[in-house]
Amino acid sequence: MTVTEQDKIFMQQALDLALKGRYSTKPNPAVGCVLVRDHVVLAEGWHQKAGQPHAERVALANAAAQGVDVKGATAYVTLEPCSHHGRTPPCADGLIEAKVSRVVIGMLDPNPLVAGQGVQRLEAAGIEVLVGVLAEQAEALNCGFLQRMRDGLPYVRVKIAASLDGRTAMADGTSQWITGAQARLEVHKMRAQAGAVIIGIGTVLMDDPSMTVRLTTQQLNELGLSSEGVHPLRVVLDPHLSMPLQAKMLQLPGRTILMTSKESVESNPAMVEQLLAQRAEIVAVAAQDDRLDIESILHYLADEEQINDVMVETGAVAAGAFVESGYVNEIHAFIAPLLMGHQARPMFELPSVQQMADKLSFTIQQMDKLGDDIRLILTAKKTIRSDNHLPSD
């Protein structure tokens, strides 16, 4: 089936609509839909929040509100219409009931509850279906959701703010502020997009951070968000249950999970009880020699919390362990035009890198200037998958 330039134009419009929901739909994917007849847009819609109508249903409702009959129209949808009953009815059925004649889809949905069944249902109803228009862009739109559906793992981004000489804090731990206001704004947007933020207990003990999304009401509105439920799940890597009972984040809105070992839980019942009383949640994951297993942490977040995207904001030791594990999809390095000296703390500690042959190579996917700072978004050129256990950080 031939893909026309008009197909690409209207699919791009649907992708642009879907982008409006990329901060607010988790754990659902962001999806856009455009209804077209005779090269004229009849109605459009996008999925705004989990539990609310999906993009196709929104577009159909908008058409009905305008008194527009979409019979015989083409529906451009960035992701395969769902075919199952969740909190909302199947979108494939909605398109069939509306008597559209053609559905153009960006990509198939790897969710086992859909996985081609939406296409089958549409075709069984006599609707012409075209799949794979601007598929690469559709994939990039929901990389976290897609990875969770395909691999049972969230999409992992490591965020680092550093000086030109690769330092993240002075020897005494001082790190505010290495980067400027624009870079910090982007970090808060990253947190708003993430389902969970991972931080090491060492950072908690040193800085007592909030790990919340600190954006103005206007900034939240621009992202399609409100102050309610905006904060990501805070995940603290705490193998020995060293979390201070007075830690700031335990008193703030949102949830905090302490990832620890089964041995620590069993040997510290009093501390467990006190932490639970402070609203902390405690999860025991696989561990070896006091080192938490990265894969177990990520599988828990994907399976039990339905987390699509994870942001890692740890110190050099844990950040290095994540990178060496091979489970990091992107590194977001915010580089400030500063020199902090050799006694300051490094970006990563990488024990496996001993000689030139061990070096880790990355590809720059994006580079932006944010005020006086530079942001680099990098992906690894190869997967490592070495020791997947996290040291204390």
Angle between the N-to-C axes of helices 294-305 and 316-325, in degrees from 0 to 180, rounded to the nearest 10: 80
pLDDT, residue 113, reads 85
The answer to whether 177 is annotated as binding is yes
Pick the CATH number of 5-142 from 3.40.140.10, 3.40.50.150, 2.40.440.10, 3.30.420.480: 3.40.140.10
The alpha carbon of 81 is separated from its chain's Cα centroid by a whole number of angstroms, namely 22
| Whole-number Å distance between alpha carbons of 75 and 52 | 20
The answer to whether 309 is annotated as binding is no
Per residue in 50-102, pLDDT (tens digit) is 888 999 999 999 999 999 999 999 999 999 998 876 667 788 999 999 999 99
The answer to whether 321 is annotated as binding is yes
| Whole-number Å distance between alpha carbons of 228 and 211 | 16
> Which residue out of 5, 44, 56, 330 is catalytically annotated?
56
* 51, 56, 62, 68: CA torsion to nearest 10: -150
> Tell me: domain 152-380, CATH 3.50.50.60, correct?
no
Cβ distance 198 to 312 under 8 Å?
yes
The answer to whether 315 is annotated as binding is yes
Return the domain boundaries, the chain: 5-142, 152-380
Three-class secondary structure of residue 374 per DSSP: strand
Closest to 344 in 3D by CA, of 168, 205, 202: 168
pLDDT, residue 169, reads 78
Q: Using H for helix, E for strand and C for coil, what is the string for 242-306?
A: CCCCCCHHHHCCCCEEEEEEHHHHHHCHHHHHHHHHCCEEEEEECEECCEEEHHHHHHHHHHHHC
| Whole-number Å distance between alpha carbons of 149 and 144 | 9
227: which 2 tokens? 């102050």
Closest to 194 in 3D by CA, of 327, 354, 312: 312
DSSP state of 126: T
Per-block mean pLDDT, blocks of 10 residues, the chain (393 long):
88 96 92 95 93 92 93 95 77 92 94 87 93 95 95 95 87 76 93 95 90 91 85 95 95 95 93 96 90 94 97 89 91 93 83 78 93 94 58 52
Can you say whether the dihedral through the CA atoms of 120, 122, 124, 127 is positive or negative?
negative
Helix ranges (DSSP H) in the chain: 5-19, 55-65, 91-97, 117-124, 135-141, 143-151, 181-193, 201-207, 217-222, 262-267, 269-277, 294-305, 316-325
Q: Is 56 a catalytic residue?
A: yes
The answer to whether 228 is annotated as binding is no
Three-class secondary structure of residue 18 per DSSP: helix
pLDDT, residue 389, reads 59
Query: 62 to each of 150, 184, 290, 326, how far by Cα in Å?
Result: 33, 38, 55, 45
